[in-house]
Amino acid sequence: MELKTSAGALNITMANHQSTEYKNLFVKAFKLKKQINIRGTTWGLLCAQSPVKDIKAKVPALSGDIFKFTQIKEDAEWLNLDTSDFATDADKAELNLPENLKPNSTRFTYIFFPESHTLVYEAYCKV
């Protein structure tokens, strides 16, 4: 079995360069549970955040997951494959998309180092 993976890193900066403030930024962003538009119908969400205990630092690193998913617009034009035309209001009335379920989901792990304000993230992984 072959594993392909790639990672990226971002240097995150803010006016107050204190490590605790960088940590607070990520903790607060996680607690918001806010879905963020990445591009078009692709959205993202920070999930499953926890401190990294094995790394010796004054302010511990944080690790977690970023989920990427498709946000479907129910009020957009839909194609009816049976009629080869746009779906009617009656066709769309049959839609039942639960708000808590998101299609095309992908999980990316990350680790954030508050002292260097560096976010290292998994950009691609295929097993």
For the chain, domain boundaries: 4-70+106-126
Is 116 within 8 Å of 57 (Cβ atoms)? no
Q: Locate tokens 């690193």: which residue?
A: 61
Is 78 within 8 Å of 86 (Cβ atoms)? yes
The residues with which 109 forms a beta bridge, in sequence order, are 65
pLDDT in tens, the chain (127 residues): 777 888 899 999 998 889 999 999 999 999 999 999 999 999 999 988 998 987 788 888 999 999 999 999 888 899 999 999 999 999 888 888 888 999 999 999 999 999 999 999 988 767 5
> The pTM is what?
0.79
